[in-house]
Amino acid sequence: MTRAATEEDLVQILTPDGQRLAHEVYDAYLGDVDADMLRSFYRDMALTRRFDQEATALQRQGQLCLWVPVRGQEAAQIGSGRATRPNDYIFPTYREHGVALTRNVSFSEMLRLFRGISGGGWDPRENNFHMYTMVLAAQLPHAAGYGMALNLEQHGWDEAKRAAEGDAVVAYFGDGSSTEGEAHESMVFANSFDAPVVYFCQNNQWAISVPFEVQSKVPLVQRAAGYGMPGIRVDGNDVLAVLAVTRWALEHARSGKGPVFIEAVTYRLGAHTTADDPTKYRLSDEEKAWAPKDPLIRLETYLRDQQLVDDAFFEQLGLDADAMAAKVREDAMAFPVPPLAKSFEQVYAQAHPLIQEELDWHLQYEAGFADAAQGE
C-alpha cells in the first residue's frame, strides 16, 4: 500500500530562487538534460505564455468567443508534455496549450474552437493529442478506456518489451475536476485493470471561484492510496521536477504496473477564463505571494546563474514569440467562417426529424432578413 503523501513530500529540483537541488530518486530521470534542452524548455514556456497573451487579446477584441488562460502553469505542462513519447496518447482538458505545443499541435488551429467555427480544430490522430474537453472530467473515463485497450493490444508482452515499446496515456485535469464522479470512476477502473494511465492533476488552487481548501482538506495526491496506485506530489512550477516525476510515472505505467497519480502544485496567475474576474473572489496578496514562484522566472534565474544564456538569447526569443503571435493572429482572422446551418449537420450521425425541423426554421428566419434587405 502506498504511504499517504504529506506537505513535506513535495518533489522539487529547482527552488523558486533558481537553485538546483539533488534528489536521490528523480535525478536518474534527468541524465539527458543538457544546456540545449534547458533552453528549449524555457523557449517552450515563453512561447506558450506569448500565445496565451495573444489569444486573450483576440478575445477582448471580440475575435474569440472565449479563452482559457494558462499563465503560471507553463512548467507543469511543458515538463509533463516533454516527458511523453510520440505514441503516448494525451487526453487534455481545455487549458493544456503548453502540452499541445509539445505534441506539435498548431497554435493557430487551436483557435478554431475558441473562435466558434469548429468543434475541435486539429486531427487527434496526427499527434495523439485528443480534442479539448469542455465538460469537467469527461475525458477521464475515456483515458481509462484507452489505457485498457492498450493492455489488450500489448497482451503477452513481458515487462521489458512493454517498457521499451509500450504506449501509455496521460490524462490531464484540475483540482476542480478531481471532485467529479468521472474522476473517481476512471481511477477505479484504471487501477482495477492495471491500465497504463498517468493521471496528471494541475492543482492551480482555484476551481473557478472555489478555493482548493473547499475541494479537499488534504493534498489531492493522498487519494491515490485509496485507489491503490502510487501518488507523487510535485512542485508544478519546477519544469525539471515535473519532467522527472512524469518520466518515472510513464515508465511505471507502460511497463504494466498500473496507473499513477501526479498532483502538480501550481497557481493560476490569471483568470479561469476570459469570462471570469478573479478579483471578485481572491485577494491580491495571494497573487503577490505566488508571483515570485513564476516558472519562467525560476528557470531564467537558473540559466543565467549557470551562464547558459545571455541577453541575446532572450532578445531573439522575444522577436520569435512576437512573430509567432502575429502569425497566429493572421491565421485566426483568415479562417473561413462556415454558415450556421452547417452546425445542424453535426448533431447526429444520421438525419433526425427534429433537427431538420429546426434547420428549416433557421433557414426561413435567415431568408427573412434577405427579403427585408431587398425591400429597402
Residue 97, pLDDT above cutoff 60: yes
Average pLDDT over residues 153-178: 96
What's the chain's average pLDDT?
Answer: 94
Average pLDDT over residues 135-146: 97
Residue 5 pLDDT grade (very low, low, confident, very high; cuts 50, 70, 90): very low
Contacts of residue 33, Cβ cutoff 8 Å, sequence gap at least 6: 240, 243
Rounded Cα–Cα distance for residues 105 and 77 (Å): 14
The grid coordinates listed for 212 are: 482548493
Q: Which amino acid is at 256?
A: G
- Specify the long-range contacts of residues 286-291, CB closer than 8 Å, at least 24 apart: 290/72
CA-based R_g, the chain, Å: 22
Residue 55, pLDDT above cutoff 50: yes
Q: Which amino acid is at 366?
A: E
Rounded Cα–Cα distance for residues 65 and 70 (Å): 17
Rounded Cα–Cα distance for residues 188 and 208 (Å): 26
Average pLDDT over residues 38-67: 98
**pLDDT tens-place string over residues 239-259:** 999 999 999 999 999 999 999
- What is the 8-class DSSP label of residue 255? I
Instruction: Supply the pLDDT for residue 351.
Output: 87
Q: DSSP secondary structure string, 15-51?
A: -TT-PBPP-TTGGGG-TT--HHHHHHHHHHHHHHHHH
Neighbour tally for 235: CB within 10 Å = 25
The grid coordinates listed for 91 are: 487526453
Neighbour tally for 155: CB within 10 Å = 7
The grid coordinates listed for 335 are: 479562417
Instruction: Supply the pLDDT for residue 2.
Output: 37
| pTM for the whole structure | 0.93
Mean pLDDT is lowest, of 50-54, 166-170, 309-313, 338-342, for 338-342
286 closest CA partner among 264, 267, 272, 263: 267
What percent of the chain has pLDDT above 70? Answer: 96
3-class DSSP state for residue 192?
helix
